[in-house]
Structure 1
Amino acid sequence: MEAKTDTGIVLMNLGSPDSTAVPDVQRYLNEFLMDKRVIDYPYLLRWLLVTRIIVPRRAPNSAAAYRSIWWEEGSPLMVLTQQLQKAVQHDLQLPVEIAMRYGNPSPAVAYDKLLQQNPQLKEVILLPLYPHYAMSSYETAVEYAKELHKKKRYPFKLTIIPPYYNEPDYINAVAESMRPYLQQDYDHVLFSYHGVPVRHIRKGDITGGHCLQVEDCCHVPSKAHGFCYRHQVYNTSELVAARLGLPAEKWSVSFQSRLGREEWLQPYTAERLEQLPKEGKKKLLVVCPAFVSDCLETLEEIAVEGKHSFISNGGDSFTMIPCLNVHPLWVQAVVKWCEQSVTTS
């Protein structure tokens, strides 16, 4: 497309600690877990829980986990997001910046950079790098970006690309990134998604009476689906499986990264990794479509901890399929959506 000098792009990801030092990890965890859309308890209770219990206990272990997957260039998530930025900017011929929901750089830094490049900036296209809508991921990223845009009274319009969990280009990119791994001998494909509390699903139900209340609610048409993480991840899995021709008995869905003792979406990935070998599914492929960039949750929680659990419980082979990262079809999809947002806005 012909470059529009009055338009800029921001790719917004989750974020990462600045380093693997415990104070940096502690600072990052505090910001992340104090988010009212992540732990949606009253402020005082959240503050006591996060700053006095969770973070002091988790920070040293999390720092060690980050050290185990940290690259020479820095945080894998940060490096991969920067690589995506360069690839998109090359194909799109528009200024592209990155922002993080937690840690650095913030959306304000990205906005300022775009304005420095072009003081006549009229519009910024924001693409949250979250395929599915969840209060604790897509929603909090968007609301944070909008809040900073309004607070600092930026002169440009902010246009936000909606969740793309069922967009054909995203489905195609996920499927084709998986296809080479399906050439090997395998028993089962596990689609592992980041979990959320069941409470969040009910809270996000705009109808007030559908999610987890109607039988087979994810497959009964409802306006709630536009904001329902559970429906959207199952929809993604079904579309990808159909595109790849996976038989129903050869794949399943689970949820990882549970925090605390309350009920989260089930089945839990950790439990399924223990059970699958006992069910005769000893050669496993795992894919994590909720993450478009490899990060701690994929490289350490799945590829290291998950593999160890699966093999220890009788599994023979375990392969984690990389996230989309900078897969050519994913780059093409991002470029296409940004072009469409520019031309139709």
Structure 2
Amino acid sequence: MNNMKSAVLLVTIGTPASYSVGDVRRYLSRFLNDPYVINIPWLWRKLLVNLIIVPFRAPKSAEKYQKIWTKDGFPLYVYLKIVRDQLAERIGSDADVWYAMSYASPDIEEVFMKMENEGYQQITVVPLFPNYANSTTGSICDSVNKALKLWKREPQLNFVNSYYDHPLFLDAWVDRIKRYAPEHYDHILFSFHGLPLSHLPQKRQVDRGVTEEKPDYADYEGVCYYFTKLIAERLGLKEKQYSVAFQSRMSKRWLRPFTDQKLISLAVKKQKVLVVPLSFVADCLETTLELGEEYKEIFLAHGGEEYQLVDSLNDSPKWLDALEKIVDLT
């Protein structure tokens, strides 16, 4: 960092204030009404989200949040605070470290209001999503730009679009995976959060597969395969030993192959499977519950021999090593 008064802002998607149906409903409404998340005309989105999706989804989601809620709160939020504190300790006086959430408090707008009062001249924004998607990092970028327009004097902004290929970040994942003895398993499945096909370029290929060339950072599907390739190379895996799939779909018109269907195909072969959630740097519903319980039940019910989920990076020292370097942009 240089001599300007600097700050680092870590941003994640957020969490309901509690697992009560009311708090979950408010969170889902704010999340799903974001045009970056559901990109259909405003009126149709309001009707779909507020009259159909949220009323029916909130009670079921509240039950899911309750299952993994800890005494300190939702794991995603707990690890966000821990990582903020540990990064602040590492950076020391070079910069102050803040955190914000896209759809919960403290949100980006209120944090930037406080930052303006503090007189920061340089801000580095790090969305806690290793690879870019318009519905996550793109939405955060839009919110940051809107917040900065309210400043009387804008600071120098460093915005980290992606960091999936940062060597230390890859090292953090490789170290995490090796702790689970990957050589013990017949197959390693790298699972990424899915996206609606409407979020992808019109000319996308039907089956992308592993690519040798580094894709554009905004090519979510291509990056998922390339990211996996980089991890697999460091683990010494052959192509037949691993595959990529996409989870958390809301309809059939989402990125394929679907993680649950891929697991079924592996289960009928009586495979031992290790599942790696590369989309996530902290455990949440999609890791602990969806991959850790729901998909495990599906896999075992179809004859799978052994199923193991790798924990997210959470607050691992190697993840902090990587993050410290990722924010050091000047």
TM-score, normalised relative to structure 1: 0.89
Judge which range, 185-194 or 160-169, deviates more: 160-169
The residue that corresponds to 1:206 in the other structure is none
**1:270 matched to 2:260:** yes
Q: Quote how far apart the aligned CAs of 1:153 are.
A: 4.4
The Cα RMSD (Å) is: 2.1
Pairwise CA distance, 1:317:
2.0
Matched residue, 2:121: 122
- SS of aligned partner of 2:99: strand
- Deviation, 1:274, is 2.0
Amino acid at match of 1:121: Y
Q: How does 1:80-119 map to 2 (within 5 A)?
A: 80-93=79-92, 94-115=95-116, 119=118
Once the two structures are overlaid, the 10-residue window that deviates more, 147-156 or 315-324, is 147-156
Give how far 1:218 is off.
6.8
Give the whole-Å Cα distance in 2 for the aligned partners of 1:287 and 1:153: 45
1:242 aligns with 2:242: no
- The answer on 1:159 being equivalent to 2:150 is no
Using the alignment, how far apart are the partners of 1:90 and 1:243 within structure 2?
Answer: 30
Counterparts of 1:285-304 in structure 2, within 5 Å, are 285-304=274-293
Instruction: Give deviations 1:269-325, integer Å, cap 9, x for gaps.
Output: 1212222111231x2111111111111111111111111111111122211111111
Post-superposition offset of 1:110: 2.6
2: CA distance between counterparts of 1:5 and 1:297?
Answer: 39
- Within a 5 Å distance, the mapping from 1:136-285 to structure 2 comes to 136-153=135-152, 155-182=154-181, 185-202=184-201, 209=203, 211-212=204-205, 216=208, 219=211, 225-261=216-252, 263-281=253-271, 283-285=272-274
Task: Answer whether contact 2:83 2:315 (CA < 8 A) is retained.
Answer: yes
1:313-338 CA-partner distances (Å, limit 9, x unpaired): 11222111111111111101111121
Shift of 1:4: 4.8
Q: Which residue of 2 aligns with 1:6?
A: 5
Q: Does 1:42 align with 2:59?
A: no
Instruction: State the alpha-carbon separation in 1 of the partners of residues 223 and 18 from structure 2.
Output: 33
Secondary structure of the structure 2 residue equivalent to 1:300: helix
Amino acid at match of 2:229: E
Give the Cα–Cα distance (whole angstroms) in 2 for the partners of residues 186 and 143 of structure 1. Answer: 42
Q: Is the 8 A contact 2:131 2:161 kept in 1?
A: no
Matches of 1:154 and 1:323, distance apart in 2: 39
Letter in 2 for 1:277: A
Query: Is the CA contact (8 Å cut-off) linking 1:193 and 1:290 kept in structure 2?
Result: yes
Q: Helix, strand or coil: the match of 1:319?
A: strand
Cα distance change, pair 4–110 in 1 and its aligned pair in 2 (3 A): farther
Structure-2 change in CA distance of 1:297 and 1:154 (3 Å):
farther
Query: Which stretch of the first structure deviates more once superposed, 82-91 or 151-160?
Result: 151-160
Runs of 4+ in 1 over 6 A off after TM superposition: none
Which amino acid in structure 2 is aligned with residue 305 of structure 1?
Answer: E
Q: How many angstroms apart in 1 are the aligned matches of 2:119 and 2:261?
A: 54
Aligned partners of 1:7 and 1:122 also within 8 Å? yes
Contact 2:192 2:245 in 1 (8 A): yes
Kept after mapping to 2: 8 A contact 1:218/1:225: no
Q: Which residue of 2 aligns with 1:334?
A: 323
**% identical aligned pairs:** 34
Shift of 1:175: 1.1
User: Structure 1 residues 199 and 123 mapped into 2: Cα distance closer, same or farther (>3 Å)?
Assistant: same
CA contact (8 A) 1:97 1:113 kept: no
**Unmatched 5+ stretches in structure 2:** none
TM-score normalized by the length of structure 2: 0.93
Change (3 A) 1:294 1:154: farther
| More deviation, 130-139/65-74 | 130-139
Paired with 1:260 and 1:217, the residues of 2 have a C-alpha distance of: 22
* Separation (CA, whole Å) in 2 of partners of 1:142 and 1:129: 12
Structure 1's unaligned 5+ residue stretches are 204-208
Q: Which residue of 1 aligns with 2:297?
A: 308
Partner Cα separation in structure 2 for residue 163 and residue 53 of structure 1: 34
- For 2:39 and 2:119, locate their aligned partners in 1 and report how far apart those are by CA, in whole Å: 39
SS of residue in 2 equivalent to 1:258: coil
